[in-house]
Structure 1
Amino acid sequence: MPADPRRILITGANGVLGNATAQYFLDRDPACQVFLGVRERRDKAEALAAAYPGRAFLCPLEITLADSWAEALSQIESTAGSLSVLINNAGYHDDALLATMTQEQWSGVLNANLNAVFLGCQAALQPMMRQRWGRIINIASLSALHSPAGQTNYAAAKAGVLGLTQSLAKESARLGITVNAICPGHIEGALPAGWSDEQIKAVKRETPMRRFARPEEIAAVVFFLASPEASYMTGASLKLDGALV
């Protein structure tokens, strides 16, 4: 069983899904302490930390650097205790057709979306192994399962996250550490910046539910996977897309 309260680190905590997930935990688990992994953009994370003093904390983190992960976990340890839950949510896409994709576009997306997950999992395993309890939730993407044209870099990275999740789940199962992944489809408030109203309507028509996910609907699944009750679910990749695929 986890120590009470749980210490939760959410990367990309200033984004739509990361911020909504932090809010979900803070509202539904009054004992938990949430560390908001941020880099440059911090306005939403700062507002959340101000709204929950003593329970939500900014945690400067460059997810592509091992030293930054070590510093973040050291901050959590000194502030509240050993990390209990890691939610690897940060990432980005930089779309292009493969024929014209630059090496920087390829390596940048792979570094932020796959290598960073490796670094985060490796850093989190140390405290979790010591306490023989932990929850790792990796936010992948529907692109890992249903890869669109123009996203070879992003789709490859997110598919790699699914493979990493399944393998690590086998390595950590006996230690009381579960590792799962979520593959969200389109999320309200986090749609591609260049989409027109017509594009948005067209994609909604293609989705059997005729709408996009609300961020809190994705957060609810993360919340369950991070709970003690999810103790036998590990190595799973959950598709949350309104039956689009």
Structure 2
Amino acid sequence: MGNLNNGALERNDSRRVALVTGGSRGIGRACAIGLAEDGYDIAVVYAGSVDAARETCDACEAAGATARSYQCDVADPAAVNACVEAVLNDFGSIWALVNNAGITRDGLLMRMGDDAFDRVLDVNLKGTFNTTRALTKTFMRQRGGCVVNMSSVVGLMGNAGQANYAASKAGVIGLTKAVARELAPRGVRVNAVAPGFVETDMTAKLSEKVRAACEEQIPLRRMARPEEVAGVVRFLASDAAAYITGEVVRVDGGMAM
């Protein structure tokens, strides 16, 4: 686990802290910036580009937040524990967790190797488990906090060529509901968001023919913008959602209605 940060962090106790995994790009970046606009300071957890993480932090700071970045493979429990400890040492507390980190390794089932299946489950499902578990004691001690897990409409509907991804995202839904029941007595809320097709780096790689076929499945006839998914995450992390837990909110343009 590494980070880009130098020097002591000046804390602002009037702002709560959100930790966003997969926060350097796409939906994660939109969530980080949106939560910064809503008054959260931001811990950006990322696995890839240092420059992208820095850009997200810069955008969060432009929105008035204190932001720091932490490089971490969420599939590694020890790395996650060290990352969470570093964030708590820097910021003093964490009140919102957005489990957004995710990958795809698409392929037909008959050709899918063990590595492709295992790695997707490790990042998407085990990573969500690792980060949530690492913060559970903090949330219980605070008697408050919220978790927003990124599932997918594929976890509800399935999708040919994505058995690993669909399994991981369906697992996130089950994990969300179980943990919501466990933590509710301590005032901790746990919800999931299930996006459909979103304008991200993943979908940018699609051919025009595949893209058109995807949009044909969507009643609203277009893909979502990352900010539209982030808007639901922002709501679930806000006091306006104080009586919502264990829910799965679809942001899919009507695909799974």
Query: Please, what TM-score do these two structures have when normalized by structure 1?
Result: 0.93
Shift of residue 147, structure 1, vs aligned partner = 0.5
Shift of residue 208, structure 1, vs aligned partner = 1.2
Distance 1:151 1:48, change over 3 A: closer
Give, as a single letter, the amino acid of the residue that structure 1 aligns with 2:38. Answer: R
Kindly indicate whether residue 31 of structure 2 is the aligned counterpart of residue 21 of structure 1.
yes
- Structure 1 residue runs of 4+, over 6 Å off? none
Distance in 2 between residues matched to 1:166 and 1:222, nearest whole Å? 17
Distance 1:40 1:188, change over 3 A: closer
Distance in 2 between residues matched to 1:22 and 1:229, nearest whole Å? 18
**Deviation per residue, 1:31-51 (Å, 9 max, x gap):** x21000012312222023234
Number of residues paired by the alignment?
241
Distance in 2 between residues matched to 1:225 and 1:193, nearest whole Å? 27
Matches within 5 A, 1:16-55: 16-29=26-39, 32-51=40-59, 52=61, 55=66
Distance in 2 between residues matched to 1:202 and 1:40, nearest whole Å? 30
Give yes or no for contact 1:185–1:213 (8 Å, CA) kept in 2. Answer: yes
Distance in 2 between residues matched to 1:73 and 1:235, nearest whole Å? 23
Distance in 2 between residues matched to 1:147 and 1:111, nearest whole Å? 19
1:183 aligns with 194
Distance in 1 between residues matched to 2:227 and 2:48, nearest whole Å? 24
Give, as a single letter, the amino acid of the residue that structure 2 aligns with 1:110. Answer: L
Give yes or no for contact 2:124–2:169 (8 Å, CA) kept in 1. Answer: yes
Query: Please, what TM-score do these two structures have when normalized by structure 2?
Result: 0.89
Give, as a single letter, the amino acid of the residue that structure 1 aligns with 2:208. Answer: D
Q: Which runs of 5+ in 1 are unaligned?
A: none
Give yes or no for contact 1:19–1:44 (8 Å, CA) kept in 2. Answer: no
Moved more, 120-129 or 35-44: 35-44
Distance in 2 between residues matched to 1:196 and 1:97, nearest whole Å? 18
1:11 aligns with 21
Kindly indicate whether residue 71 of structure 2 is the aligned counterpart of residue 60 of structure 1.
yes
Aligned match of 1:70 in 53, 68, 81?
81
Matches within 5 A, 1:140-159: 140-159=151-170
Distance in 1 between residues matched to 2:107 and 2:139, nearest whole Å? 38
1:229 aligns with 240
**Deviation per residue, 1:56-91 (Å, 9 max, x gap):** 111222101122122212222221112111100001
Shift of residue 205, structure 1, vs aligned partner = 2.8
Give, as a single letter, the amino acid of the residue that structure 1 aligns with 2:100. Answer: N
Shift of residue 228, structure 1, vs aligned partner = 2.1
